[in-house]
Chains A and B, each alone.
Chain A
Amino acid sequence: MAQLLLTPENHIQRLNAILNKVDQLQNLGLPSLTTPPNSKSWNILEVLVHLNIAYGHYQQKFNQHIPKLPDNKSENEGFRIRRWQKLVVDSQRPKEGVRKWKMKTLKKFEPLLDHNQLNHEKAEEIFKTFFELHNHLKEAVLLCRKKEVSQLKIPSAIGPIVLFYLPEAFEFLICHLERHMVQIDEILQQQDSLVSP
């Protein structure tokens, strides 16, 4: 199995693409943001809340550990992802715009939104939190460009069964974000198909 090289520049480029995409979502009307494709699926705001919950776990860990890492003595040359971690990351990575494996969300990551309370203010709050958290992720990637990242492993959000070096954690989070961007595209496509004859 080929080893994937993780670089901070690649992470930053993909994160910027996601941030731009979510920025564009703010132009959608409330019905688009709050209408799920069917009764069992999430709407767009719920997808964003899920992403916010998922990042919350890592935000704490990054704040706790990154400042303590020693500075990198030379230029960041990238990080080779390990096999088990690659398997976990690949379970999230969409392939050619398709989510490969659909999976049940763990209870602690479910977005518990009251659909009757979804108004403009709530939508604004969700977007604001999304940008705060995911700009924090970008700052973490930028900080780690100049840090020695091979000295620290952190447990993933599902526990110590998966331990990540920081670049592996960034790759996991970005693949997870990309996976849910695909889900948002699917929601929007289904809304379009309901409107178009």
Chain B
Amino acid sequence: MDDEASRILKGFFPNIDFTKEEERYFKSLWSIKTFDQYDLITEAGKIERCFYIVLDGVQAIYLLNERGEKVVLGFSYSGSPSGAFDSFIQQTPSKTFLEALKPSKLLAISRSDYDSIFKKHPRFYTWGHHFFQDILFGRLSREVELLTLTAEQRYVAFMQRCPDELKVIPQKYLASYLNMKPETFSRLRASVSY
């Protein structure tokens, strides 16, 4: 693992102090996986085998509606977690796809190694508590936005907080995430400043 990957990994677990030996072991549990643009990282119907931390690239998590269209639930990007968490935790077939929208490099840990770090280092439970709390608050906030804001307000709120690397992915993914038609997204992009 190079210095940059090591820095991102450490940044993801900010409050965990390791001895040198523990850190070496911890790092050894992670492997680097690379994906080309449009590769499917996780397929709906397969069990998610890994928990990922993104080193590079942008990924979309989506499911298919009855018409077979992609409905985007979220994105991951440099420094963020990625994967179909429900499938990973429950070890049941995923309902969602995870796709690399840009060439991607991810740090991956298997389910058994993920479990082992909690057993070996109980302080990971505190990390896990905060991690899943953040995920829950993020989803709640998104639900409120989807239910209460107008399309223009959703567009502005999203564009103000999203990192630059997300702004260059195909518009149809951003439009789907914001629950609007690509034409609406395009019109807002041309006419609304944020």
Q: What number of A-B contacts does a CB cutoff of 8 Å give?
A: 42
**Chain B 33-51: CB-based contact to A (< 8 A → 1; otherwise 0):** 0000010100111100000
A9–B64 contact, CB under 8 A? Answer: yes
Asked if A146 meets B38 with Cβ closer than 8 Å, knowing A7-B68, A9-B64, A75-B170, the reply is yes
B97–A20 contact, CB under 8 A? Answer: no
**Interface stretch (choices A10-18, A52-60, A98-106, A185-193):** A10-18
Contacts of A16 in B (CB 8 A): 43-46, 93
Cβ 8 A contact of B43, one of A6, A7, A12, A146 = A12
Does B154 interact with chain A (Cβ within 8 Å)? no
Does B67 interact with chain A (Cβ within 8 Å)? yes
Does A145 interact with chain B (Cβ within 8 Å)? yes
Query: How many B residues, CB 8 Å from partner?
Result: 13
- Interface bracket on A: 10 to 19
B38–A145 contact, CB under 8 A? Answer: yes
Q: Interface on chain A toward B: helix, strand, loop, or mixed SS?
A: helix
Contacts of A85 in B (CB 8 A): none
Asked if A12 meets B40 with Cβ closer than 8 Å, knowing A17-B45, A20-B45, A75-B170, the reply is yes
Q: Complex formed: what's the CA distance from A54 to B45 in Å?
A: 23
Does A88 interact with chain B (Cβ within 8 Å)? no
Q: Complex formed: what's the CA distance from A7 to B66 in Å?
A: 12
Q: Interface on chain B toward A: helix, strand, loop, or mixed SS?
A: loop
**Chain B 52-88: CB-based contact to A (< 8 A → 1; otherwise 0):** 0000000000001001101000000000000000000
Cβ 8 A contact of B64, one of A10, A17, A145 = A10
Of chain A, the residue at the smallest CB distance from B36 is A146
- Shortest A132–chain B CB gap in Å is 17
CB neighbors of B among A128-170 (8 A): 142, 145-146
A13–B64 contact, CB under 8 A? Answer: yes
Contacts of B67 in A (CB 8 A): 5
Does A76 interact with chain B (Cβ within 8 Å)? yes
Q: Complex formed: what's the CA distance from A181 to B75 in Å?
A: 35
Contacts of A15 in B (CB 8 A): 45
Does A70 interact with chain B (Cβ within 8 Å)? no
Of chain A, the residue at the smallest CB distance from B43 is A12
A75–B68 contact, CB under 8 A? Answer: no
Contacts of B40 in A (CB 8 A): 9, 12, 142, 145
**Chain A 6-38: CB-based contact to B (< 8 A → 1; otherwise 0):** 110110111111011000000000000000000
**Chain A 102-142: CB-based contact to B (< 8 A → 1; otherwise 0):** 00000000000000000000000000000000000000001
Does A67 interact with chain B (Cβ within 8 Å)? no
Contacts of A6 in B (CB 8 A): 68
Contacts of A146 in B (CB 8 A): 38
Contacts of A17 in B (CB 8 A): 45, 93
Q: Complex formed: what's the CA distance from A78 to B172 in Å?
A: 14
Of chain B, the residue at the smallest CB distance from A75 is B38
Contact sample, A vs B, 16 pairs, CB 8 Å cutoff: A7-B64, A9-B40, A9-B64, A9-B97, A12-B40, A12-B44, A12-B45, A13-B64, A13-B97, A16-B93, A17-B93, A19-B45, A75-B38, A76-B38, A142-B40, A145-B40
Q: A12-B44, A15-B45, A75-B38 are in contact. List 7 more A-B contacts (CB 8 A).
A: A7-B64, A9-B44, A10-B68, A12-B45, A13-B97, A14-B45, A20-B93
Closest 3 CB pairs of A and B: A16-B45, A13-B44, A10-B68
